Structure 1
Amino acid sequence: MIRDDIKAALVTAMKGGDKPRTAAIRLIQSTLKNRDIELRGAASAPSDDDVLVTEVLQKMIKQRRESIALYEQGGRQELADAEKAEVSVIETFLPRQMSEDETKAAIDAIVAETGASSVKDMGRVMAVLKERHAANLDMSKASGLVKARLG
């Protein structure tokens, strides 16, 4: 499980004295704990813990990339570098991401399976894509590919 990998990496980073990596991993654990608390009251919690963790990690990476762009626009390279370091730590816990060709093949298969023919069917295609490949796919990039395929 991804959570076990995160705990083991925290212990390793602490023993190695790697303060930036330790801080980033603690941030990951904190974000996951907050998400667990949010889902406690929810009526339908996701059944697959690895998918939940992957979604949280992908969201964290997206936030950091947005921050990097803003810091670089503002001329704050040292802050952008810190964010980039966090992104590299977070990415180590994500499962292997699908390549663009693999993503297009998956989209083509789902389009053929669902009989989608126009952009109006994009929601159905995205729902099936997320159900099957959420852990291995950046859904924002996939959305653009689905739109291009159906458009």
Structure 2
Amino acid sequence: MDKSQLLDQIKDAMRAKDKNRLSILRQVNQAMKQIEVDERRDVTEADLTAAVKKLQKVTKEEEEAIERAGAAGHEERLAMLREQGEVLKGLLPAQLEGDELRARIDAIIAGEGLSTKRDMGKVMGALTRETQGNFDKPAAAAYAGSKLS
């Protein structure tokens, strides 16, 4: 997703009068504007992904804090946070999973000549760089661990 697509989604949320979605999208847009002003450069897709992941982390932390404190009387806020999480998840690029993930791991192992369990960090690091962290991490670790002796 790029900035123009984000602005289109903001317009769509305004038309649909979806206040919660609009609020989230505006937060992401504000983060993009902050990068443009502070760093005096155009935002990239990586910047957008990083901003969404940061908001996703904050939302999840707040949701967990409310649940730990006792959700009594906070059901409405919890529902809103869960909806925010879903909106943010929809803004992220699709996660690499299944056969495609296994093929990418096999290519990394073969390409770099990795063979031992000590090379697990190299495999995961290379996979993170290639996909910018958009992959199923537990599944990747399990599969890479089974391929390395």
Calculate the TM-score normalised by the size of structure 1. 0.73
Instruction: Name the CA distance, whole Å, in 2 between partners of 1:106 and 1:7.
Output: 33
Equivalent in the alignment of 1:102: 100
Task: Summarize deviations over 1:46-88 as a string: whole Å, max 9, x none.
Answer: x992233223223322332233222222223332221111111
Letter in 2 for 1:81: A
Contact 2:3 2:43 in 1 (8 A): no
Equivalent residue pairs, number? 145
Structure 1 pair 100–121 and aligned structure 2 pair: CA distance change class (3 A): same
What residue identity is the alignment partner of 1:128?
Answer: A
Where does structure 2 lack aligned partners over 5 or more consecutive residues?
Answer: none
2: CA distance, partners of 1:48 / 1:132: 20
- Are the equivalent residues in 1 in contact too, given 2:56–2:85 (CA < 8 A)? yes
Q: Which residue of 2 aligns with 1:32?
A: 32
Q: What is the percentage of aligned positions where both structures have the same residue?
A: 27
Partner of 1:20 in structure 2? 20
Q: Secondary structure at the match of 1:84?
A: helix
Runs of 4+ deviating beyond 6 Å: none
Q: Partner letter of residue 105 of structure 1?
A: A
1:51 matches 2:46: yes
Shift of the 81–106 alpha-carbon distance from structure 1 to 2, 3 Å rule, reads: same
Give the one of 94, 114, 117 matched to 2:115: 117
Quote the residue 1:84 is aligned against. Answer: 82
Q: How far does residue 135 in structure 1 lie from its aligned partner after superposition? A: 6.5
Query: Which is greater in Rg?
Result: 2
Q: Who is 1:65 aligned against?
A: 60
Comparing 61-70 and 86-95, the one that deviates more: 61-70
5+ residue gaps in structure 1?
none
CA distance in 1, matches of 2:36, 2:141: 30
Alignment map for 1:125-144 (pairs within 5 Å):
125-134=123-132, 136-137=134-135, 141=138, 144=141
RMSD: 3.2
SS in 2 for 1:80: helix
